[in-house]
Chain A
Amino acid sequence: MMLKIENLRIVREGKEILKNVNFEIAPQEIHLVLGINGSGKTTLAQAIMGIYPCEGKILFEGEDITHLSVWERARKGITLAFQEPARFEGLSVKDYLMVSAKNKSLNRLEEVIKMVGLPRNILFQEVGDNLSGGERKRVELASVLLMEPKLAILDEPDSGIDMLSCKLISEVIERMKSMGTSVMLITHSEDMINIADRATILCAGKVVASGERDEIKRLFKYSPCPLKR
């Protein structure tokens, strides 16, 4: 397994946000995480990245990484794209992408920028307030692509992206998979759901189902969240 989560529990400000979460992501799998607002998807994503302390176990390629810091996990090949990416004053898109890029050639940067549907000259703009929400999300995706991670955790990569471009983003994620990256994909969009191989439903901080994408999708439509917090 690429990633194995065992009995994960997270408490924040005295509130149990994730309860006894178990699930797995296989190599080169696009694993969808479904759940209504507030069900704990973002918390789970950030916990895997190492942002919150947690109880339970996180295994990455068989190794226990539960006690590793964020950057140690990143250096093992895990990365996360935030639902609302940060903005950086004074940092150009190019400088920002250089931080994560494995291949730091300008050619490669340009190629990836094009792949996520951005114009070349955006490289020289600031990763600040001047970028639109959608542009910022695309830059984030480019940054993840350039890192060539083993596991990419994408928290709603399509939110803020216009309808026409969602297909492009889906293609980019499929491309990641074909390059050997496993993806944990959080999304609410129907189109994007269809690129997933397997899926897990979170509800009130618990896994209520995990399995093949179509089966889980049906289940989610029928009963998105059977439990109460």
Chain B
Amino acid sequence: MNEFIKNEYERLVKYYESAGGNTKALLSKDYASMVINGNKVLAKNSTKEIIIEAEKIEDGVYAHIRIKKGYKSKNPVHLCFGMLPREGRQYIRTEIFAEEESEVKFIAHCIFPNAVKVEHIMDSNVKVGKGAKVEYEEVHFHGKEGGVKVIPKTRAIVGEGGMYNSTFVIKSGRAGFVDIDYEVRLGEYAKSMLLTKIYATGNDLIKANESVILEGAHSSGVIKTRMALRDKAKSEVIGKTIGLGAYSRGHVDCTEIIMDDAEAIASPVVMANNPKAKVTHEAAIGSVDKKQLLTLMARGLTEEEAIDVIVGGLLK
């Protein structure tokens, strides 16, 4: 590592650590990992069974991650995507291929602590082989300015009996502008759960467009969205499940709490063309539940404190 990269790496890792990232794992040879700042790969580590390749492309970074057939990883793969400057555009195109019967969990930390005008664009293709299991957990740490645009797109294809679960959470700072676009196609007996948790304030705008397409018989998918919006924040959530396979089961579950002048639109879409499929939805948008509020206030919490407890639970 040259001096400049080393310096940058150390600065990012410091943020990574204070964001709850596992620094030891990042430095360990036993963990597959990759650290990207801006459009530069600062470090990466493959293991015998998890091979990470990355290269610079014209407008960003291309990374390819392969988990070998039958390999069940005990250690998660740690990814750290950072953007330390106040301005800039990060574009990361990834291809993840979990081969047959493999199992892996990704923990991706996305860190934009100083963002005033930062764009983070992810373009992922995920292929989950027959019987393989992939969990992808994406945790965001933003700055206080709200100057982040997060635009993650994922196309996942899950083979027979496979599983793809993803979680998207903004842990700290202003959400900014978020535009999630996920689509998962499930084969026979495959499963998927897409979970999004966001707390939006100021003039944050959150868009989420998530689909689970239940192609295979007996496949099942859940799209779960939890949001709390304050001030003038807005959200537009589309959760779509499409039942094509016989005995496939899909469910869209969206709960949003709105306060102040916030606005939320949730459109659960359930579609089926197979009479043996079953797709359902529930969506609830409203202010903080009165009874929850009164219960906590009857224990001595002020209204603000009570709201924090309720929202904290919902987004936990």
Q: Across the interface, do B300 and A75 meet the contact criterion of CB distance under 8 Å? A: yes
Q: Across the interface, do A99 and B315 meet the contact criterion of CB distance under 8 Å? A: no
Looking at chain A's contact residues, the main secondary structure is mixed
Count, chain A residues at interface, CB 8 A: 23
Give the residue name and chain of the B residue nearest to A85 (CB): B295
- A22 lies within 8 A of chain B by Cβ: no
- A13 lies within 8 A of chain B by Cβ: no
- A95 lies within 8 A of chain B by Cβ: yes
Cβ distance B256 to chain A, nearest Cβ, rounded Å: 12
A94-105 interface mask toward B, CB cutoff 8 Å, 1 = contact, 0 = none?
A: 010001100000
Q: Across the interface, do B313 and A99 meet the contact criterion of CB distance under 8 Å? A: no
Chain A stretch 72-93: residues in CB contact (< 8 A) with chain B: 74-75, 78-80, 82, 85-91
- B114 lies within 8 A of chain A by Cβ: no
B181-202 interface mask toward A, CB cutoff 8 Å, 1 = contact, 0 = none?
A: 0000000000000000000000
- B294 lies within 8 A of chain A by Cβ: yes
- B269 lies within 8 A of chain A by Cβ: no
Interface residues of A (CB under 8 A from B): 49, 51, 69-71, 74-75, 78-80, 82, 85-91, 95, 99-100, 143, 147
Q: Across the interface, do A86 and B289 meet the contact criterion of CB distance under 8 Å? A: yes
Which of B295, B299, B301, B313 sits near A95, CB closer than 8 Å? B313
Query: Would you mind naming 25 contact pairs between A and B with Cβ atoms under 8 Å apart?
Result: A49-B294, A49-B298, A71-B297, A71-B301, A71-B302, A74-B297, A74-B298, A79-B300, A85-B295, A86-B291, A86-B292, A86-B295, A88-B292, A88-B309, A88-B310, A89-B255, A90-B312, A90-B315, A90-B316, A91-B310, A91-B312, A91-B313, A95-B313, A99-B301, A147-B300
Count, chain B residues at interface, CB 8 A: 23
Complex interface: chain B residues within 8 A of A69 (CB): 297
- B17 lies within 8 A of chain A by Cβ: no
Complex interface: chain A residues within 8 A of B296 (CB): 99
Complex interface: chain B residues within 8 A of A99 (CB): 296, 299, 301, 309
